[in-house]
Amino acid sequence: MFATRKTLKLTDVYLARIGRRNNQHVWIVDGNLIARDIYPEWIFGGNDMRYRFNPANEVWIDSRIGVEELETTIRHEVLERRLMKFSGLTYNKAHDRALAIEPVLRPRWERQCRTAGARLIAHAHMNRVSKLLAVPTEKLLRLYRQPVGAFMGCRIWIVDGTIVRQEIAPNYGSADSLGMRGIVPTGEFWLDSSMSALEAYFALYRRKALHRLSLVVSEGTVNAPTLEGCYDQALAMEVAERKRQFQISRRHEERLKPVQYGARNRAS
């Protein structure tokens, strides 16, 4: 099937445009569709120097990967592309160089997560958070999985969703909500490690919206919504963002010219 057609029109491939990195548009794309219809061995991500069907100046992220693999995959693809395009490396050499990022990043993140776990234990004791005090210390130290960044002064963390559900809040899912108030330390957002990269994008979008709306409540603004009303509004904003991303993706595909099948070993 793949050898009989020279070109194809990308359709229903794009799922969400999640930002830019090194002047590359970063898209989450339908990994199952790509593996089924375009390139069977495609997994994790890609860039325009490696894959002929990957449009110029785009980094593709596989919708099937977990949120913990998102940052390393973006960095891998950006570096691999740069090495192929500007340093003239073959794909294999550029790929191996890009893989070397992870042994540097992951231990650094692990140290940051252990420190965050120690802060969580201090938070539990200082504020007498019974649900946290009941959790074995070693599990709290392993709760944090990866730092994600910051938003309006709040740290964003990927946390072990299984530990949270098993030990703290059985109904926990996707991102911390009003039900986690008092458990999650002030100034932190938690994202569930079991989510896909795509769902994590929308969960974080909702959590950021909830944070902004909650600030309105805390300021006592006239006609400010209740906290429960804030959550409902944040959910509605997430739904609107899902629809917006769908429309952006379809418009983008309409503008794209047909692309070629296959991969390349050198930039050309």
Question: What Cα–Cα distance (Å) separates residue 147 from each residue in 105, 114, 155, 156, 197?
Answer: 11, 11, 8, 6, 14
Question: Which are the contacts of 237, defined by CB distance < 8 A and separation ≥ 6?
Answer: 205, 206, 209
Q: Which pLDDT belongs to residue 134?
A: 97
The string of pLDDT tens digits covering residues 9-57 is: 999 999 999 999 999 999 999 999 999 999 999 999 999 999 999 999 9
Cα 159 to Cα 167: distance, rounded to the nearest angstrom: 13
Lowest mean pLDDT segment, chosen from 90-99, 226-235, 258-267: 226-235
Mean local confidence (pLDDT), 171-182: 78
Lowest mean pLDDT segment, chosen from 47-56, 57-66, 222-231: 222-231
pTM of the predicted structure, to 2 decimals: 0.93
Does the structure show a pLDDT above 80 at 258? Answer: yes
Question: What Cα–Cα distance (Å) separates residue 27 from each residue in 30, 50, 238, 252?
Answer: 10, 16, 18, 11
Q: Which pLDDT belongs to residue 6?
A: 83
